[in-house]
Structure 1
Amino acid sequence: MSWTGAIDAKPSVRMAALAPDLLRTERLVVDAIAQDRGKATELTAQELAEWAGVGRTTVIRAAQALGYEGYSQLRVALVQELASESSAPVVESDASSLGVIRGRMLQVGSRLEHTLAVLTPEAIDSVLDTLDTADRVLVVGNGLSGPLAMALVMRLNAAGRSVEYFADPIAQQIAAKQLGAGSALFVLSGSGASRPTLEVMNAAQESGARVIAVTSFARSAVAKLADVPLVMPPTEETFHDELIHTSRGALMLFLEELVDLFVERRGERGRIARQTAISMLGRAIAD
């Protein structure tokens, strides 16, 4: 599998989405580039190969896996990316704890646009159609993706789309096995490698259900198994950072917008459902 997202997606976005599941030697190339993109732009394919400790052909294969014809095209893209970053306005922040938090949030915010680079209009439309027409919808998220799944369930129910949710992995598998054709499983997995989630996906597909997955890595097991994978590269600069910080902020924002779009697509049905939900919330709020 190679890059299938936006053709203008930056190299760092492609690396974040694809690197974790590249061949080991190709991963060495990508890690070397991520370590110092500026240095990489000054190296030939042979020099980069020596730096990464691999053969020259591995450098070319790594570049092609990222969606480029060869390393020369990857070098040009790296230069363009670094140039755009150097021309971006610098946001000043103080050294206080609040200043540090503000700076980090602004840093993540600046990368949010790139998390959409792998998505396509066709995939989004397919998900919206499935949510609208499926007989049953089961939402699954385990580990750090669990809160995302619960939030999605609440939002979809408020939008008039009745969905099912179980926190226990065994209960998830039982429900998935009973979905059947015409139903759907909606999976949330940032890492794309959760074993309980993969088992639920297998159970759903065996039942004939359609499987939708939102994940961070294009070559992850979850992305490969899903009928409709929605891949959103992590906002962290490296895979190491993503493992340490495991941010789900971008995924949460995306899901909120997806549900809003779902409500709009349902027209009058969506408007009535939303008004009903607001009315119920109003009753629950004390004067």
Structure 2
Amino acid sequence: MAEPPVGSGAPITVRVAAVRNTLQPTERRVADLIVSEPELVVELTAQQVADRVGVARSSVVRASQSLGYRGYPQLRMALAGELGAHDSFDHGEGAIGRLRTVMDRTARALNNSTSLLDVDELEGAIDLIARARRVFVVANGLSASVASNLATRLTSIGRSAEIVPDAVSQQIAARQLTPDDVCVVVSGTGTNEFSLRTAAAAVSAGANVIAITSFQKSDLTGLAHRVLVVAPASFRDELEHYSRVAQAAFVEALVDLVAEVFADRAQHARGLVLEILSDNLGDTIS
């Protein structure tokens, strides 16, 4: 349904993370080399890149264009700039130094997490969540904690949201939604089978489906009415550590945007939350 374009301001690693699953096998070889050995790629010509991964030069050009550049020279220049930005974060050796370096790079990467968002998709999703009769939040696997936090945070601003942990129960609940309801599906890859079945059940029921994902094109985006592409903090984190830090930060900001629609209602709900927190924390504070 919705397929937002590659963000023009997105770094190369973010672009690769968002579209890798849609690339042709030869283009994917080029993209993987860019991610795994960026310092090498920036020194190579298009032909040298092609020779290194065993593809034709035309595949390097097509891969560059699939990532949103006019050609390989433009990609190479952008990569050089990205590497320069990375070099600015180095707090030295030792546990504290390495920790600070990772935290700084993560903070920079989080600034890039919104680079693939489409404004119309975002505004449409906010409107759907704000005016829906019911909001049903769905996730399985590694995205479950993000979905749980989204449902809790929405409820805390007066926008009641439901979440069901069991995968089969999710599908049963989704099938009972109506065209006045919204099903928000959180899935990093957009390929979780249980989440896809629930999204399909929601579509069959006539409900609007909003996808919060890290890839621009997947089975989930094909089902969704609104697609919110949240770039992972880094491509390597997504592959090696299955990081959901970018999605976690995004849902916090999304809830604030929904709260702006509610205004007084959200303020009243937050006041009630503070009262409850005060009552429960009072005896533990010395």
- TM-score, with length taken from structure 1: 0.91
1:127-157 Cα shifts (integer Å, max 9, x gaps): 1111111111110111111111111111111
User: What is residue 64 of structure 1 aligned with on the other side?
Assistant: 65
Deviating 4+ runs (over 4 angstroms): none
Q: Which moved more, 1:220-229 or 1:125-134?
A: 220-229
User: What is residue 52 of structure 1 aligned with on the other side?
Assistant: 53
Contact 1:156 1:259 in 2 (8 A): yes
- 2:235 is equivalent to residue 234 of structure 1: no
Correspondence 1:105-120 to 2 at 5 A:
105-120=103-118
- 2:29 is equivalent to residue 28 of structure 1: yes
> What is the RMSD computed on CA atoms of the aligned residues?
2.0
Code of the residue aligned with 2:214 in structure 1: it is S
- Distance (whole Å) between structure 2 residues aligned to residue 91 and residue 36 of structure 1: 19
Contact 2:203 2:223 in 1 (8 A): no
Contact 1:3 1:65 in 2 (8 A): no
Contact 2:3 2:227 in 1 (8 A): no
Code of the residue aligned with 1:92 in structure 2: it is H
Query: Alpha-carbon deviation of 1:94?
Result: 4.3
Cα 1:94–1:43 change in 2 (3 A) is closer
User: What is residue 155 of structure 2 aligned with on the other side?
Assistant: 157
User: What is residue 191 of structure 1 aligned with on the other side?
Assistant: 189
Correspondence 1:114-263 to 2 at 5 A:
114-238=112-236, 241-263=237-259
Query: Alpha-carbon deviation of 1:2?
Result: 8.8
Code of the residue aligned with 2:191 in structure 1: it is A
Q: Which has the higher contact order (CA 8 A, sep 6+)?
A: 2
- Distance (whole Å) between structure 1 residues aligned to residue 39 and residue 16 of structure 2: 15
- Distance (whole Å) between structure 2 residues aligned to residue 204 and residue 37 of structure 1: 42
- 2:234 is equivalent to residue 274 of structure 1: no
Code of the residue aligned with 1:49 in structure 2: it is A
1:20-52 Cα shifts (integer Å, max 9, x gaps): 342222110101122222332333322221111
Query: Alpha-carbon deviation of 1:93?
Result: 4.4
Query: Alpha-carbon deviation of 1:77?
Result: 1.9
Cα 1:136–1:3 change in 2 (3 A) is closer
Query: Alpha-carbon deviation of 1:272?
Result: 1.1
Code of the residue aligned with 2:19 in structure 1: it is L
Aligned residues: 282
Contact 1:142 1:194 in 2 (8 A): yes
Contact 1:138 1:165 in 2 (8 A): yes
Q: Which moved more, 1:77-86 or 1:211-220?
A: 77-86
Code of the residue aligned with 1:201 in structure 2: it is A
Contact 1:2 1:66 in 2 (8 A): no
Q: SS of 1:6's equivalent?
A: coil
Code of the residue aligned with 2:25 in structure 1: it is R
Q: SS of 1:116's equivalent?
A: coil
Contact 1:2 1:67 in 2 (8 A): no
- Distance (whole Å) between structure 2 residues aligned to residue 152 and residue 10 of structure 1: 27
1:100-129 Cα shifts (integer Å, max 9, x gaps): 433322221221111111012222211111
Cα 1:224–1:254 change in 2 (3 A) is same
In structure 2, list runs of 5 or more residues that go unmatched. none
- Distance (whole Å) between structure 2 residues aligned to residue 15 and residue 140 of structure 1: 26
- 2:279 is equivalent to residue 283 of structure 1: yes
Query: Alpha-carbon deviation of 1:176?
Result: 0.7
Contact 2:232 2:245 in 1 (8 A): no
Query: Alpha-carbon deviation of 1:188?
Result: 0.9
Query: Alpha-carbon deviation of 1:3?
Result: 7.4
In structure 1, list runs of 5 or more residues that go unmatched. none
- Distance (whole Å) between structure 1 residues aligned to residue 179 and residue 3 of structure 2: 30
Q: Percent identity?
A: 38
